[in-house]
Amino acid sequence: MLVEISESNADAARLDQMTRRLLGDLRRHGLQIERPAVQAPDGAKSGSAVAVASLLVALAGTPAANALVNGIFAWLGPRRASVKISCGDGSIELSAATAEEQRRLIEWLRTCHEETREREQGGREG
């Protein structure tokens, strides 16, 4: 699962700072998270650092999905940032959410996790 964050007019340093904070918050919720290595885009100066605000999250069922959602919405708080969560072929983008939207997001993540697991198991059997 991929989690990406963005903020209007944020520079690379700001995105990096926000990503590090979210990474720490989600790890404190017990999630397994990696920050993917990123290559500089075409035209970037040699040796320049590129801040890509994305994290890879491993979910192991509904409790992990709950922790992810709770961690993301606690992190979002008053920020003017948005979070895009991609799972399989689907994605959802959030900037704030009601309790009902959080519940629906947890259900979406659970369903996506189950579908991904079924595809992986089907691939091993065939």
Q: Is 45 a domain residue?
A: no
Residue 44 domain flag: no
Task: Give domain status of residue 106, yes or no.
Answer: yes
Quick one: pLDDT at residue 50?
A: 31
Tell me the residue ranges of DSSP E strands in 59-125. 81-87, 90-94
What domain range includes position 21? 2-38+50-125
Q: What is the pLDDT of residues 28-68, one digit of tens each?
A: 888 888 887 654 444 444 333 333 467 788 776 667 778 88
The reported pLDDT for the residue numbered 44 is 41
Q: 102 in a domain, yes or no? A: yes
Total of domains in the chain: 1
Return the amino acid letter for 11: D
Average pLDDT, the chain: 76
CB 63 within 8 A of CB 31: no
d(CA 111, CA 24): 26
Q: Which residues share a beta bridge with 6?
A: 82
123 compared with 118, residue with greater pLDDT: 118
Average pLDDT over residues 83-87: 86
